[in-house]
Amino acid sequence: MESHEKLALSPVFSTFKRAFRIWLKNFFKFAMIYVWGLLYMAIPIAILLILWLSNSFKLLNNNIIFGIAIISITVLAILFLLYYLIRIVIAFFLLVKHNYVGRELDIYRESAHYFWSYLFLKILVVIIVLFPFWIFIIPIMLIPITSLIIIIGLHILAIIAMVIVAVIYSLAIYVLFFENKTGISALARSRALITNYWWAMAWRILFIIIIFLLLKLVLVLPLIFILFPHWSLFSGALVIAWSILINIIAYLIIPFILLFFYHIYQDLVKIKK
């Protein structure tokens, strides 16, 4: 049997086209999951709008009890908003896991069962990725270092270490959904899959980041024409409307990015058998 090092991942553009084709084919299903997520978010959004339109926040200093109540309701509304947003992403994974079969509402409801496992793993990955930063930066905080070169060097080393770790554990979420492994087990499996393929994975991540940034730039350009050279009565409303549109488009692009890395994950699983 060939060694893992001799087996190559699918070409980047081939993976890109395959992911795009499947994303386009199932776009309506992904969009419907997003719509169900928005419907679930209607109540916390309505609460925040009511608080904002009623000028409740201006009265915070007048009554302590009223202020605590308003702040508590606001925080809870924002937390539920984030909860339903995260569940949209989880439902995207589940749609792929179910081979694009099933009612979108049922899949969105199923996402609730994965929420805490998903959140715990995400937090765990963030902690591990940020760990090198503290290793390199804490000495700057504790020891009075005056050399600018040393300070810059430590920051560069911290960034390099964080990038290395981020790539190593980039497939942990896929392991969670497609191998039902959680926590440390998911991280260990991701590390095993990426072993000997770090550069290949890093290049693919960079490729998607560049594509996403270029697309974001194209979407943001109309705002420049709205704001410049003249500010009109309707410019503020147009900026808000366009910003909302950009966020909607960005969220609907998430399934494509998910599919791109899902095919890479599949390649690595086949290679590492």
DSSP per-residue letters across 213-237? HHHHHHHHHHHHHHHSS---TTHHH
What tokens does 221 get?
Answer: 């350009």
Mean pLDDT of 83-106: 93
Model pLDDT for residues 170-201, shown as the tens digit of each residue: 999 999 999 999 889 999 999 999 999 999 99
pLDDT reported for residue 32:
93
Higher local confidence (pLDDT), 44 or 95: 95
Domain that holds residue 119: 4-271
What integer pLDDT is reported at residue 177 of this predicted model?
A: 94
Q: How confident is the model at residue 53 (pLDDT cuts 50, 70, 90)?
A: low
Residue-averaged pLDDT of the chain: 83
The Cα 263–Cα 187 span in angstroms is 19
- The distance of Cα 214 from the centroid of its chain, to the nearest Å, equals 17
Q: What is the pLDDT of residue 153?
A: 77
Structure token digits, residue 150: 């040393």
Q: Which of 86-100, 168-182, 239-253 has the lowest mean pLDDT?
A: 239-253
Lowest-confidence range among 24-38, 198-212, 232-246? 232-246
- pLDDT band of residue 3 (cuts 50, 70, 90) is very low
Q: For the ranges 43-47, 57-61, 189-193, 217-221, which has the lowest average pLDDT? A: 57-61
Q: Is 25 helix (H, G, I), strand (E, B) or coil?
A: helix
Comparing 143 with 60, which gets the higher pLDDT? 143
Of all residues in the chain, the percent with pLDDT exceeding 70 is 78
- The dihedral of CA 68, 87, 198, 214: what is its sign? negative
Cα 42 from chain centre:
22
Instruction: Count Cβ atoms below 10 Å from residue 197 Cβ, excluding itself.
Output: 21
Domains identified in the chain, total number: 1
Spatial separation of the C-alpha atoms in residues 263 and 201, rounded to whole Å: 12
pTM of full prediction above 0.85: no
SS3 1: coil
Residues 91, 20: Cα–Cα separation, whole Å: 19
